[in-house]
Amino acid sequence: MANPSPGNSITLRVAAPSSFTATSELAAAVAAAGAAVTALDVTESHHDTLVVDVTCNTTDEAHADRIKDSLNALDGVTVQHVSDRTFL
């Protein structure tokens, strides 16, 4: 597999259940899918839900789809939006 590159950077807006480990679990899922996490930004924090922008370097569009799928597979997590450097 090719190495993740900043030229293939994406940002995923993710809703996740609030917990002490929420951001760690998101980062671990992205890393397990082979991407390089470059930023985690909590954009909303509520009693029961966090909204987090996860930015990572990928290898290509198919890799980005796998990352989205790995996040959606986490219990209670929903990817709300995916953007890349060109189409924010």
As a whole number of angstroms, the distance between CA 14 and CA 26 comes to 9
- pLDDT tens by residue, 48-79: 999 999 999 999 999 999 999 999 999 999 99
Query: Per-residue pLDDT tens for 33-54?
Result: 999 999 999 999 999 999 999 9
* Cβ neighbours of residue 65 closer than 8 Å, sequence gap 6 or more: none
If you ran DSSP here, which 8-state letter would residue 49 be given?
E
pTM of the model: 0.93
Instruction: Quote the pLDDT of residue 87.
Output: 65
Q: What is the rounded CA–CA span in Å between residue 30 and residue 25?
A: 9
Query: Is pLDDT larger for residue 85 or for residue 34?
Result: 34
Tokens of 73: 């597979």
Would you identify the CATH topology of the domain 5-84?
A: Alpha-Beta Plaits (3.30.70)
